Amino acid sequence: MKIFYSENHRQHNPAFEVFDGGQRVPYLENPDRMDKILSALRATNWAEFIEPDDFGLDPILAVHDVDYIHFLASCWDEWRAAEPEVESATDNSAFLPATFALRRTPRVPKSLLGRAGYYIMDLSAVIVDGTYQAALSSANCALGGAKFVSETSLSAFALCRPPGHHAGKDYGAGYCFINNAAVAANYLSAKGKVAVLDIDYHAGNGTQDIFYDRADVLTISIHGDPDFEYPHFIGFADETGAGNGLGFHHNFPLPAGTNDKKYLSTLGKAIEIIRDFAPKYLVVSSGMDIYEGDPLGKFKVTREGIREIAKRIAALNLPSLIVMEGGYANDALGENIVALLGKFIKD
């Protein structure tokens, strides 16, 4: 299997994030995640690593607001220029707002910190010097995989970091800045209908935001119920699309403690929706935080369950791009990814 991967992700390495209640903790979405996955993939006999091409900004701006992308590109340098003391700051320096927009009006503030609160949703979307370049490379991994899938009708894995599915049209959130899966799905949509299946533990709010009014890209998210889980304000079952997209978005919120049996039962419903839609391509937002014991998840899905999830998705027999999202049980992460991808290998 072709694995699209870039070492540029290491440029994004914040020292901390802020949890609920204001607790400052080491950044969970860290380069060690990739190292664990790389180690496990290199131990197989089927992983072939490919450095992605640079696809430029056009495929990104096709799904993201241009002013938001300009903000990501410039905010770090602008902040440093406005705050000279940052020059001598420690490795803990990071750019984060303290005030967040409720989005009840469309007005974008003029000040840097005001724009940060408008374009960033939470205190885990931490920006440091290399964040933007890492996010661009992550999107290029997804685009490289999408191009390969479209040209070969085979499946591929985009080993993306930072992840992307929480990034909406004009905001970053939940470790995500550019929505890699959405960029890839939009690229593929020029060649035929696309289904996006999000199996990350957290709702794919950004993907929902981007495709909510479109009928050519079906979006489905299976996740922890936002009544108790991040992102809290989106991902409910009655959110089914708008305008032309009405009926082309599906959320499956599940309770804490969801096990293999319950998850697979829900996955079966999602797969039937995909079959009825009859897409030409499938994009799978693959978060391994569904795994039992993940520090940011409350599901009880086993590694055997992950294999079965992958087996049933692969049985759709669609050219598939698997895109890396979350998963923070680092010691198990590599083997979980191998368990997932192994079911997409063609003999």
Six-digit token pair at 283? 């994009």
Q: Which strand (E) or helix (H) includes residue 2?
A: strand 2-4
CA distances from 198 to 60, 71, 236, 280 (A): 19, 27, 14, 17
Q: Is 166 a catalytic residue?
A: yes
Q: Which residue, among 76, 61, 59, 72, has the nearest Cα to 120 in the 3D structure?
A: 72
Residues 318 and 186: beta-carbon distance below 8 Å? no
Candidate list 166, 202, 249, 250, residue with the active-site label: 166
Q: How far is CA 195 from the centre of its chain?
A: 15
Residues 176 and 142: beta-carbon distance below 8 Å? no
Residues 129 and 140: beta-carbon distance below 8 Å? no
Residue 188: partners with Cβ closer than 8 Å, 6 or more residues away: 146, 149, 150, 194, 280, 281, 283, 321
Report the catalytic residues: 166
